[in-house]
Amino acid sequence: MIDINLIRTNPEMVKENIKKKFQDQKLVLVDEVLELDKKNRELKIEGDNLRASRNTLSGQIGMLMKNGEKEKAEEIKKQVALNKERLEQVEKEQVQIEAEIKTKMMTIPNIVDASVPVGKDDSENVEIERFGEPKVPDYEIPYHADILASFDALDKESAGRTSGNGFYYLMGDGARLVSAMISYARDFMINKGFTYCIPPFMIRGDVVNGVMSFAEMDAMMYKIEGEDLYLIGTSEHSMIGKFKEQIIPEKSLPITMTSYSPCFRKEVGAHGIEERGIYRVHQFEKQEMIVICKPEDSMAWYNKMWSFSVELFRSLNIPVRTLECCTGDLADLKVKSCDIEAWSPRQQKYFEVCSCSTLGDAQARRLGIRIKGENGNYFAHTLNNTVLASTRALIALLENNLQPDGSVIVPEPLRMYMGGKEVIKPIK
């Protein structure tokens, strides 16, 4: 959510930003907010005047009663009663208008950074840099579900019976490998100075509204029937929500945390949700990183955060590239975002494994996260990035470490979490 002062002082800039995101249907919201804001300020002035008049007239009533001028006092009482009735109307109308303003403001997209390329959708995202050489071996790389099947490590048939499409059982070395990757990612971030946290896996509706747009919520979140609780789609949601309505001392910044959680996603409209693999699923595990910092430090942290993901994947012998997300591919709250994509030697192309974003003060405004500075309080900046998402990272690891005989080399950093195991060999 942007600062309403920006709409008051520079509505054309806000409209231009909407056009850059190819959301022209939202242009009308800017003028509607301006009109409602004008009406709201007029009502505020009227309300202040009515309160001041009430105090003045109340003093006059006391004086008139003291002087025995009851008739005049009664006339003024009538005026006080009328003023009270009008003030109640004004205050009620203000509440309604402020709610309408908030709803519209939460729909207007955040101002994107000037460096973000203009484009309609993810097909116009821009490659920034490659790390590691993408190789295609001279032997066949099977589909990842088949690699896992050779280890007797994946059972989607049973998951279909218990839970439906989009779920899976990981077993044996497949499950152990995922646990090893998550543990390694956790320790990797702890060694970068981040504080480890296991957050709540359910959050209330006001927190959901604070961390994401309405459209994202509808597409992603599972709601608990009969309760004001949602299953998290990423631990960023509950991690940022941890600081809701908090005033953070400036000296405590930056706050850097890494969190583990399962993630639950509806994947509404997603293609391939019924595929036999684990690329797009309703449930997976993830190690996340979040930063809360001063506005002037957010871009430096953004660059550090995506570089951590690159470093981690390269340590697992996985080539990656960074992709700058264009304006049309940015979620409404994001200022700037990049995807880290892993190389798939089977498909001979890259696929997304991480997403790093700075959201400016948008989430902080929605959730009331402020910094206590020397010259007063101001809104924090929030950032998030995937350290490692279990299923997609597993696919990338299997494909890039598969050997001609069907075995998979366990990358050196994971071996301590696998009881020293260096190779996973097919049993089928």
Per-residue pLDDT of 191-203, as tens digits, reads 999 999 999 999 9
For the chain, the average pLDDT equals 93
| Residue 269 confidence (pLDDT) | 59
Scan for tokens 């955040």, then name that residue.
110
Spatial CA neighbour of 256 closest among 211, 195, 298, 297: 195
The pLDDT of residue 271: 57
Cα 395 from Cα 398, distance rounded (Å) = 5
How far CA 278 is from CA of 134, 263, 401, 423, in Å, comes to 22, 14, 18, 22
- Enumerate domains of the chain plus CATH numbers: 4-105 (1.10.287.40), 122-424 (3.30.930.10)
Read off the pLDDT band of 274 (50, 70, 90): low
Question: Whole-angstrom Cα distance, residue 381 to residue 5?
Answer: 18
Q: How many CB atoms lie within 10 A of CB 125?
A: 20
Q: What 3-state DSSP class applies to 128?
A: strand
Q: What's residue 197's pLDDT? A: 98
User: Is the model more confident about 81 or about 126?
Assistant: 126
Residue 272's pLDDT is 58
* AA identity, residue 107: T
Residues 334-348: b if buried by 16+ CB within 10 A, e if exposed: bbbbbbbbbbbbbee
Residues in a beta bridge with 373: 376
Under the banding of pLDDT at 50, 70 and 90, the label for residue 270 is low
* Non-local CB neighbours of 54 within 8 Å, separated by 6+ positions: 80, 83, 84, 87
> Does the structure show a pLDDT above 70 at 404?
yes
- Token pair for 387: 């350290």
pLDDT at 310 over 80: yes
CA pair distance 328, 338, nearest whole angstrom: 13
Contacts of 31 (CB under 8 A, 6+ apart): 11
Identify the band that residue 120 occupies on the pLDDT scale cut at 50, 70 and 90. Answer: very high
Residue 141 sits at the vertex; the CA angle it makes with 274 and 399, to the nearest 5 degrees, is 75
Amino acid sitting at position 109: P
pLDDT in tens, 366-380: 999 999 999 999 999
Least confident range from 40-54, 63-77, 176-190, 205-219: namely: 63-77
What per-residue confidence (pLDDT) applies to 189?
A: 98
In sequence order, the 6+-apart residues with CB closer than 8 A to the CB of 171 are 152, 153, 154, 155
pLDDT at residue 268, as a whole number: 62
CA distance 11 to 31: 8
pLDDT value at position 77?
A: 81
Say which range, 32-46, 120-134, 206-220, 282-296, has the weakest mean pLDDT.
206-220
Does residue 287 surpass a pLDDT of 60?
A: yes
Residue 356 pLDDT > 60: yes
The answer, as to whether pTM is greater than 0.95, is no
Task: Tell me the percentage of the chain whose pLDDT exceeds 90.
Answer: 84
Q: What gap in Å lies between CA 236 and CA 60, rounded to an integer?
A: 58
Residues 311-349 pLDDT 10s: 999 999 999 999 999 999 999 999 999 999 999 999 999
Q: Is 185 helix (H, G, I), strand (E, B) or coil?
A: helix
Mean pLDDT across the stretch 258-270? 86
pLDDT band at 426, cuts 50/70/90? very high
Is a pLDDT exceeding 70 seen at residue 121? yes
Judged against a pLDDT cut of 90, whether residue 55 lies above it is answered with no
| Higher per-residue confidence, 212 vs 309 | 309
